[in-house]
Structure 1
Amino acid sequence: MKTATHPATALLVVDDLTIHAGDRVLLQGISFRLHAGEALSLVGESGAGKSLLAHAIMGNLPPALRASGAITMDGMTTRAEDAASRRALWGRKLALLPQEPSVALNPLQRVAPQLAEVYSLLHAQPSAGAAERAQQELARAGLGQATAHYPWQLSGGMAQRAVAAITLAGGAPVLMVDEPTKGLDHHWRDRTVALFRGVLQAGGCLLAITHDMGVAQALGGQVIVLQHGQAVEQGRIDEVAAQPGHPFTRNLMDADPARWLPFAAPQVGDSVVQAQGISKAYGAQQLFTPMDLQIRRGERVAVQGPSGTGKSTLGNVLLGLLRPDTGRVVRSAGLHPHAFQKLYQDPVASFAPHIKLGDGLRDAARLHRCDWRHIQQRLAQLKVHEDLLSRKPHQVSGGELQRIALARVLMTQPALLFADEPTSRLDPVTQQETMRVLVEAVEQNGAALMLVTHDQHLAAAVGTRTLTLADMAASAGLG
Structure 2
Amino acid sequence: MSVLTFDRLSLSIHGSPILRDVSLALEAGRTLGVVGESGSGKSLTALAAMGLLPEGARTRGAIRLDGRDLLATSEADLCRLRGRRIGMIFQEPMTALNPMQCIGDQVAETLVIHGAAPRAEAHRIAAERLARVGLPPDRCAPSRFPHELSGGQRQRVCIAMAVALRPAVLIADEPTTALDVTTQAQILDLLKGLVAEEGMALMLITHDLAVVSGIADRVAVMSQGRVVEQGATEALFRAMRHPYTRQLFAASDHRPVRGAVPVGGPLLRVAGVSRTYALPRARLFRRAPVLRAVEDVSLEVREGESVGLVGESGCGKSTLTRAILGLEGVQAGAIRLSGQPVGPRMPGALRAQVQVVFQDPYGSFNPRHRVDRLVAEPFHLLPDPPRGAARRAAVAAALEAVGLSAADMEKYPHEFSGGQRQRIAIARALIIRPKLIVLDEAVSALDVSVRARILDLLADLQGRLGLSYLFISHDLGVVRAITDRVLVMRAGRIVEEGRTEDVFAAPTHPYTRALLAATPRIPAHWTPQGAPA
What is the TM-score of this pair, normalised by structure 1? 0.82
Cα distance per residue 1:195-218 (max 9 Å; x no partner):
222232222111111121121122
Contact kept, 8 Å, 1:318 with 1:329, in 2: the verdict is yes
Match of 1:362 among 372, 378, 387: 372
1:426 aligns with 2:422: no
Structure 1 distance, partners of 2:327, 2:481, is 29
In structure 2, the residue matched to 1:377 is: 400
- Counterpart of 1:289 (choices 286, 291, 295) is 295
Does residue 275 of structure 1 match 2:267? Answer: no
- Once the two structures are TM-superposed, the CA of residue 93 in structure 1 deviates from its matched residue by 2.0
SS of the aligned residue for 1:251 comes to: helix
Aligned equivalents of 1:49 and 1:198: distance in 2? 28
Superposition pairs for residues 217-366 of structure 1, below 5 Å?
Answer: 217-257=213-253, 260=255, 263-282=258-277, 283=279, 284-332=290-338, 335=349, 337-352=351-366, 355=367, 359-366=369-376
Partner of 1:98: 90
Query: Over the residues paired in the alignment, what is the CA RMSD in angstroms?
Result: 3.7
Write the distance in 1 (CA, Å) between the matches of 2:200 and 2:51: 20
Aligned to 1:177: 172
Tell me, which stretches of 5 or more residues in structure 1 are unaligned? Answer: 1-6
Q: 1:390 to 1:90 in 2, by over 3 A?
A: farther
Matched residues, number: 458
C-alpha spacing 1:84/1:227, structure 2 compared with 1 (3 Å): farther
Query: Matched residues in 2 for 1:234 and 1:132: separation?
Result: 39
C-alpha separation in 2, matches of 1:176 and 1:387: 38
Which deviates further from its counterpart, 338-347 or 28-37? 338-347
Contact 1:120–1:130 (Cα < 8 Å) also in 2: no
Partner of 1:4: none
Aligned to 2:50: 58
Q: Partners in 2 of 1:160 and 1:399 — Cα distance?
A: 24
Instruction: Map residues 67-78 of structure 1 onto 2, 5 A cutoff.
Output: 67-78=59-70
C-alpha spacing 1:298/1:119, structure 2 compared with 1 (3 Å)? farther
Q: Alpha-carbon deviations, 1:212-238, whole Å to 9, x = none?
A: 112112222222212222222122221
> What CA distance in whole angstroms lies between the structure 2 residues aligned with 1:398 and 1:169?
33
Query: Residue 524 of structure 2 aligns with which residue?
Result: none
SS at match of 2:81: coil
CA contact (8 A) 2:169 2:200 kept: yes
3-state DSSP of counterpart to 1:422: coil
Using the TM superposition, give the Cα deviation of residue 318 of structure 1 relative to its aligned residue in structure 2, in angstroms. 1.1
Contact 2:266 2:302 (8 Å CA) reproduced: yes
SS at match of 2:481: helix
The aligned runs of 1:142-221 (5 Å cut-off) are 144=139, 151-152=146-147, 154-201=149-196, 202-221=198-217
CA contact (8 A) 1:47 1:400 kept: no
Per-residue deviation, residues 42-78 of structure 1 (Å, max 9, x unmatched): 1112222222222222222333544443222244213
- 1:111-144 Cα shifts (integer Å, max 9, x gaps): 5654455566565352763675476357549993
- 2:9 corresponds in structure 1 to 17
Provide the rounded CA distance (Å) in 2 between the counterparts of 1:418 and 1:290. 21
Distance change (3 Å), C-alpha of 1:97 and 1:135: closer
- More off after superposition, 259-268 vs 87-96: 259-268
Instruction: Say if 1:101 and 1:159, in contact at 8 Å, map to a contact too.
Output: yes
Q: What is the Cα deviation at residue 20 of structure 1? A: 2.2
Match of 2:515 in 1: none
- 8 Å Cα contact 1:302/1:467 also seen in 2: yes
Q: Is the 8 A contact 1:15 1:70 kept in 2?
A: yes
What are structure 2's unaligned runs of at least 5 residues? 280-289, 341-347, 380-390, 494-509, 512-533
Query: 1:397 offset after TM fit, Å?
Result: 6.2
Q: Distance in 1 between matches of 2:418 and 2:427?
A: 14
Q: CA deviation at 1:251?
A: 1.7
* Residue in structure 1 matching 2:18, options 5, 26, 32: 26
Between the aligned partners of 2:417 and 2:66, the Cα distance in structure 1 is 29
CA distance in 2 between partners of 1:146 and 1:281 (Å): 24
Amino acid at match of 2:476: Q
> Aligned partners of 1:234, 1:442: CA distance in 2, in Å?
39
Paired with 2:195 and 2:130, the residues of 1 have a C-alpha distance of 25
Maintained 8 Å contact 1:277/1:326: yes
Structure 1 pair 165–55 and aligned structure 2 pair: CA distance change class (3 A): same
User: Secondary structure of the equivalent of 2:490?
Assistant: coil
Decide whether aligned partners of structure 1 residues 320 and 114 sit closer, same or farther in structure 2, where only a CA change above 3 A counts. farther
Instruction: Provide the residue aligned with 1:451 in structure 2.
Output: 471
Alpha carbons of structure 1 residues 27 and 244: separation in structure 2 relative to 1, 3 Å = same
CA distance in 2, matches of 1:287, 1:437: 33
Is 1:43 aligned to residue 57 of structure 2?
A: no
